[in-house]
Structure 1
Amino acid sequence: MKSLLRTAAVLALAGGLLSSPAAAAAPDVPHDGMHLGHPRPVREAAKREAVEFFSYDCYHSQQLELPLERWAERHRGDVVLRRVPAVWAGSPDEQVQLGHARLYYTLERLGQVDRLQAEVFRSVREQHADLTSEDRAADWAQLHGVDAAGFREAYRSAEVQRAAQDASGLLIRYRVDELPTVVVQDRYRTAPSKAGGVEQMPAELDRLVEQS
């Protein structure tokens, strides 16, 4: 547990959040109706929304990936899972994080996140692959069955660039100070230090979905 809290503190410091009195005092249940603003199909309008904040460089984010996928599959009839890659504005790793964010949003635009999210984690964390440039990311995507030309077109799109640039603001709006963090229905949140570990997060998410 000490290591989880230490990880949270380092991540928050990198994002400049620990120096902010407002962030330090932020409640677990915000009251300002925050939302991502993603357009939602009519069929999803009645579903609850769970938003995961993660980083491809984060050990605990990788740990959560498979349990979260299984959790989302169990709740596919009543919950929409969305993800936001962490970009800590002003941190030494901001450019790396922006590169990872562009990769994530490109895969999302191409409908490849469900198939390749775990593979990105393995490549970044276990194989130490540098996927932060267009060329490297496109080569990696092609090796994993994605059309290289289509990948590059999506990577360069205004939508992907805007989403990557907006990611840092979402961490502030949602008061994220630990990775991974999952926010349910714009109000209720959980993270490893709150749930008692990554393994306990799916059960805590069940409770938050019921509460919402």
Structure 2
Amino acid sequence: MTQPTQHPIHIGKIVRHAMLFNSQRWQGEARAMDDLLQSVEQLFALLEERKLPYVLVGGIALLHYIQGRNTEDIDLIFNVAALQAIPEIEVTYQSPFFARGTYKDLQIDFLLSKNPLFAHVQKHHVSEQPFFERKISAATVNGLILLKLYALPSLYRQGDFTRVGLYENDIATLMFYYTPSLQELLHELTPFVSPQDMSATTEIVAELEGRIARFRRTSGG
């Protein structure tokens, strides 16, 4: 079961709407819509012009496949060399596997391909997808599920209940509409996580499969 075909996602408008509805960032003045939309277009034009490999992931990539929540950030799988080749992005935080930066009025979160799982998704789970701005290299359904499954055990250890709920809901929704082979995905994930995390992830997937089965029984779907 897949969702009905929808119009290409407008990344600039998604980010803009999320900023407007985030009370923590609301300052009583609306940002200039034209400036924000132009920043999104210019960012992806720069990536294409400099032939920098990237993969769109996170909430905006998810919205290409399913209806979802607002998101202010643009999330990209990127490598460190590419990050250094685009000085227009001001890097405000960097660790071995993650970075954060700003490009004009956009916030960008980077999943650095030094992480083996991120590199794996970039190599094996990417397709060109039509967005309003242009065709963009985005993670596939399987790629998004792998990234979220990979993150869940850490979120549990951190006690981040809010993000655990969001990630599990994202995975369950993708499972429901696209019916990927979870056994194959779990097998694919195994080399990138510890045995303890793999056991926890397998348990999470079984719970999500049970939730979907109950929904289908009660809804007649």
Q: Same fold (TM over 0.5)?
A: no
User: Which protein has the bigger strand share?
Assistant: 2
Greater RCO, CA 8 A, separation 6+: 1
When Rg is computed on C-alpha atoms for both structures, the one with the higher figure is 2
